[in-house]
Structure 1
Amino acid sequence: MVRLSAGSYLLVTTYKKDGTPVPTPVWVVRDGEALGIWTVADSWKVKRIRNRADVLVGPCDVKGRPTGEQYPATAELLTPERTAAYRTLLRQKYGLLGVLTLLGSRLRRGDRGTIGIRITLA
């Protein structure tokens, strides 16, 4: 788990209703014994997680090419308060790039336009 949160990108594979896997590279932070990601609240990955919380996660590069083993996990959509904590963790981990990305997102969508997702390995 530590190795997954230490990398810059995490490949999160969600599933469509018909079972088709959809892999997406995302930034990742550590949330205690879990992993944390942050995304646009109305994104397809959020909609897929609402329908099916089981996901597959593993390390990847910026283009989403796997760089290690993929692991089964469970995803949980977070409240706005817990999402705010993820924004802080992202700023700390990703530095200036994180600050600029979060600022741009806040200007475009506001604080409620994004959501944190807590991922617990199975």
Structure 2
Amino acid sequence: MASDGLTRLGDGKYLLVTTFKRDGTAVPTPVWIARDGEALYFWTVTDSGKVKRIRNNGRVQLAECDFGGKPLGDTFEGQARILDADGSDRARSLIQSKYGLVGRITMLGSRLRRGSEGTIGVEITVDAPA
């Protein structure tokens, strides 16, 4: 079942990634997503709240969503982990490939604003429906 969910989540345009604060409060955020093998990848600002929350607790909930973060399907449980520099480069490359010209322009703008270390990749493995 997780594999079926992995395909649906990874093929969507946006993914709602819900991370959790130390007190258990859920914080949902829509992100661009790319799938490679048995994992999903996204990128974000290195010092963002979601990176801090994932470092504290890698448990996430995932759902297909629209641009504004409105869920469009089932919710799945998953585990997220912050990637090293090589893994982050791979995540950026996957996003650029999936989102084409818009993805490449967005990555370029991000690199110009924040430098190459201003963003970081995140890998997610999907466990099962929530």
Please indicate the TM-score interval, normalised by the length of the shorter structure: over 0.9
Q: 1:85 aligned to 82, 86, 90, which one?
A: 90
Distance 2:15 2:105 in 1: 20
Residue aligning to 2:57: 52
Letter in 2 for 1:55: V
Task: After TM superposition, give the deviation of residue 31 of structure 1 in Å.
Answer: 2.4
Distance 1:104 1:95 in 2: 14
Distance 1:21 1:104 in 2: 30
Q: Within 5 Å, which residues of 2 pair with 1:71-110? A: 71-110=76-115
Task: After TM superposition, give the deviation of residue 87 of structure 1 in Å.
Answer: 1.2
8 Å Cα contact 1:31/1:118 also seen in 2? no
* TM-score, normalising length: structure 1: 0.97
Letter in 2 for 1:16: K
* TM-score, normalising length: structure 2: 0.92
What value does the CA root-mean-square deviation take over the aligned residues?
A: 0.7
Per-residue deviation, residues 34-76 of structure 1 (Å, max 9, x unmatched): 1111111100000010111100011000000000011110001
Residue aligning to 1:61: 66
Distance 2:75 2:67 in 1: 16
> When the two structures are aligned, how many residues end up with a matched partner?
122
- In structure 2, runs of 5+ residues without a counterpart are 1-5
Q: Within 5 Å, which residues of 2 pair with 1:6-25? A: 6-25=11-30
- In structure 1, runs of 5+ residues without a counterpart are none
Per-residue deviation, residues 86-108 of structure 1 (Å, max 9, x unmatched): 11111111011101110010001
